[in-house]
A and B are shown apart, each in its own frame.
Chain A
Amino acid sequence: MASSRTLSSLSPPDTVIVSPPTDISEALRTELYTLSKVRGWISAAVTRRDGLPIEHTFKSAREANILCAMAAAVVGSARSTGDHLRQGPFTYSIVRYVDGLLLVMEAGPEAILTCLLEHDANLGLALMKVTQVARRIEDRLEEL
């Protein structure tokens, strides 16, 4: 059944992004905040396969929307490249910027987990933690 949340006079970009059901939202928020224990953690987001945000810890929804769309494109293009080059399934992507690190990882068939870290974060530790959280997110989504 479609929900019918009433809108005020919003512009199209404000309304194209629909909110997930509360149970999904709450379950994933809990998982995302466990990443905050990683030293150098800045923010994280879980996105749908198509790049629509499911849950995030960013202060700005706009930042999260852009990051989620890009994360889906990163995974999509990495998977396409892997298929073309016969390199097997995608595991994760690391983008190193001057001021930070971006980790992008699949969290099961439905979701993508992306995490923004400070440039001097412990990458090995962060990868281990992000992998654990990605698995839990996959399990939680399978339950819901």
Chain B
Amino acid sequence: MKHWFTVSEKESEVQFHRVSQDLLTHNPKQGVNYWGGAEYPTMLIWAGRIYDFLRVLEGIVGHYPARMQSYTVGYTSGWNGADVGARLLTDAPANDGKTQLLSSGSGILSGAGWGRCEIEYDDATGQVHWIFPEGTAIGLAARQEGRRDKPACPFVAGFVAGWTNRSLGTKIEFQETKCVSMGDPKCIFESVEFLRPRAEKASSR
């Protein structure tokens, strides 16, 4: 069975008020925010700074190791986000709440300002796509710095992987197949069984 979850522009507004206002509490003594009752300190950060982590690392160790480091950090963020999100589900859970938790990711991301997204999930094949029709915030920030030849959002790829795996109880990885920083009209993240990244040019033998 194929599932499709989306957030309209109007729903994105509603999610913004819920996620970025109602669920956010401020600890005035610390000057620190907390989200959704979780113990993790939460703060606003420019999307371009997340991109900078990738860009700086790429300059040192090259794209693929930098991608994996960024992906891993995003993964933990997505996993923990889904963990907290599971406590916020109020409707009667269907399908053990797995699909419901997965679907809640789109509202959380748009409400938190990461980008309005759609999630396609085929429970027969296990295939999952996260599609950002207008791009992710990080992709849009990267685009402002010039066109890239490799995707700018491994952090988001890791995030959606963490959210998906925590929600569905799976162990799949995600690849950025379209990215606005590369000139694509949208950002797309697709589940893959096992990525096989290749170096730009083969080493001499």
Contacts and interface: CB of A to CB of B under 8 A. Distances in A.
Interface of A: 1-7, 12-13, 15-16, 18-21, 24, 48-52, 69, 72-73, 75-77, 79-80, 88-91, 106, 108-110, 135, 141
Given A1-B126, A21-B194, A16 B65 contact: no
Contact of A72 (B65, B172, B201): B65
Nearest to A11: B79
B2 to A, nearest CB: 14
B193 A51 contact: no
Nearest to B161: A16
A15 B126 contact: no
Q: Is the contact region of chain A dominated by helix, strand, or loop, or is it mixed?
A: loop
Contact of B59 (A4, A24, A48, A80): A80
Contacts, number: 129
A76 B194 contact: no
Contacts of A4: 126, 168, 170, 172
Given A48-B196, A141-B196, 12 more contacts: A2-B170, A4-B168, A5-B170, A21-B194, A50-B67, A51-B64, A69-B65, A76-B62, A79-B199, A91-B203, A109-B198, A109-B199
A115 B148 CA distance: 35
B65 A76 contact: yes
B61 A72 contact: yes
A3 B193 contact: yes
A76 B193 contact: no
Contacts of A108: 202-203
Interface stretch (B22-30, B68-76, B133-141): B68-76
A72 B169 CA distance: 29
B51 to A, nearest CB: 18
Contacts of A49: 64-65, 197-199
A76 B192 CA distance: 24
Given A12-B76, A48-B195, A109-B202, A73 B65 contact: yes
